[in-house]
Amino acid sequence: SIQAISSIENGFKNLYISESKTAEGPVLSERSLLSIATDHINHAGPDFILELSQRKLFATWNLIVGKEMSVRSNFGCALHYYEQGILFIGNGVWIDDGVISNHQLCLDLYEGASNASLAMRNHKLVDYYTSVIFQNVWFERSIPAWIILMTSLESFGKHKEIVDKGIRLIRRLNIDVPPSPPGPRELV
């Protein structure tokens, strides 16, 4: 319910426990508690959350925990949380309904998923997540995704694809690229 979610949020906002060890063992940090709560919500799944505002909240929790896992270089877990966040946002993810803007949240989740996939050397997932970004954001906002994609291609030695995609990217900037390199006389 909304009241239960609000009390959980308030508990996180008011909790200032440092990550340290006591005689009884480690003290849980706010981040640790958030990841525990997020795991429980993810276990229930997005099908039981009907209100868009709640789904956005849980997608945001997954984004936060995914970023934390990325900082800790646990990219498999990070990818899991980013994917769960994407599931919570659901269909029509990039639509701004005038009340709740999903656009930045979607971009952050998909960029996080593509970065985690790159770190795990899974080019197929990098290609998928970056292509979703390319389809849904203005060119200027897709530059980080282009860098992720090109880095992935380069790490797999796919140089021809890098050149082909690079030429398409340059042409999107309205820069003319000739079909073949200029001859020696044309360079003078």
Please answer whether residues 171 and 160 qualify as being in contact, where contact means their C-beta atoms are separated by less than 8 angstroms: no
What pLDDT, on the 0 to 100 scale, is given for residue 96? Answer: 61
**Residue 54: helix, strand or coil by DSSP?**
helix
Q: What would the pLDDT profile of 9-48 be if each residue is shown by its tens digit? A: 554 444 433 444 445 555 445 567 888 888 888 888 888 8
Contacts of 52 (CB under 8 A, 6+ apart): 97, 100
Q: 26: which strand partners?
A: 21
Please answer whether residues 65 and 84 qualify as being in contact, where contact means their C-beta atoms are separated by less than 8 angstroms: no
160 pLDDT tier (thresholds 50, 70, 90) = confident
Please answer whether residues 114 and 145 qualify as being in contact, where contact means their C-beta atoms are separated by less than 8 angstroms: yes
Report the 10 Å Cβ neighbour count for 151. 13
- The C-alpha atoms of residue 98 and residue 94 are separated, in whole angstroms, by 12
Q: What would the pLDDT profile of 53-110 be if each residue is shown by its tens digit? A: 888 899 999 999 999 999 999 999 999 999 999 999 876 667 665 544 678 899 999 9
Q: What is the mean pLDDT of residues 136-156?
A: 88
Q: How many residues are there in the chain? A: 188
What pLDDT, on the 0 to 100 scale, is given for residue 79? Answer: 97
pTM confidence score: 0.75
Work out whether the CA dihedral 15, 21, 23, 27 comes out positive or negative: positive
